[in-house]
Amino acid sequence: MKQYIQQLVELSKIDKQIDDFGPKIEEVKARLTKVEEEKQTLQEAIAKIDEEIQECELKKRKNELHLQELSEKLSELEKKSGQVKTEKELKAIQLEEDIAKEQINFANDEIARLENICETKQEEKEALQEQLAKIEERLDEVKQEVDSELQKLEKEREELFRKKSELVAKIPQQILAFYEKIRRWAGNTAVVPVKKQACMGCFMKINDKTYANVIKGEEITTCPHCGRILYIEEEDAQ
């Protein structure tokens, strides 16, 4: 029976190692995800700047059209001023000309302001595009690193599964079923050592009779408090 207890201890350790691969794989994948998120953030920022540039260009175009309309209006007013017959009509035309000139100045100022904004946005976009190019290079590197590490982890996991299969084949089905039943609720603490006469699963002290049975190892002994399978580590047994 001691042989089977030792096999259960080994099986429990292998199961824990197999389960540990989940977090390891997620940790490796997280590195790639982080770089992908950085890339996406930059792409979204560039797309937003593109929208802002497009909006800026549209406003500039509207002002340019308005400026063209004002210039045409000013030309018409100049023609009319040569045809007026009264001073009142002349003053009215001059007032319209002054307003049109003021609007032209405002349109020119607005166009200049919008051009500066568009230029600044374009510079921001180019800077982000440079960052994006570097991130894409880094992403390719990280992908290769992650793929390599995942392949390595997968080989290690396959080796553990092979060891587990060989070990399971040596354990009687009844004992294996008992172990799996406990493992369903205890997880990787289904088989735990006893230290200072206490179960290392629930940390409760076990009675002398149970402790003696664990030391003898003539049968599978479980903790009277939590039901986990107990064993004595070699150094403690000695």
Q: Which letter, b or e, does each residue of 176-191 get, where b requires 16 or more Cβ atoms within 10 Å of its Cβ?
A: bebbeebbeebeebbb
> How does residue 234 score in pLDDT terms, banded at 50, 70 and 90?
confident
Residue spans of the domains in the chain: they are 21-168, 173-237
Phi, psi (5° rounding) for residue 201? Answer: -95, -50
Distance of CA 166 to the CA centre of its chain: 38
Residue-wise pLDDT tens digits, 151-171 = 999 999 999 999 999 999 999
Residue-wise pLDDT tens digits, 17-56 = 999 999 999 999 999 999 999 999 999 999 999 999 999 9
Average pLDDT across the chain, whole number: 93
Q: Which CATH number is associated with domain 21-168?
A: 1.10.287.1490
* Dist. CA 11–CA 231, nearest whole Å: 13
If you ran DSSP here, which 8-state letter would residue 218 be given? S
> How does residue 235 score in pLDDT terms, banded at 50, 70 and 90?
low
Distance of CA 89 to the CA centre of its chain: 72
Token pair in block for residue 60: 């500039």
Task: Spell out the long-range contacts of 35-44 with Cβ–Cβ below 8 A and sequence spacing 24 or more.
Answer: 35/135, 35/138, 35/139, 35/142, 36/139, 38/135, 39/132, 39/135, 39/136, 39/139, 42/128, 42/131, 42/132, 42/135, 43/132
* Dist. CA 171–CA 194, nearest whole Å: 22
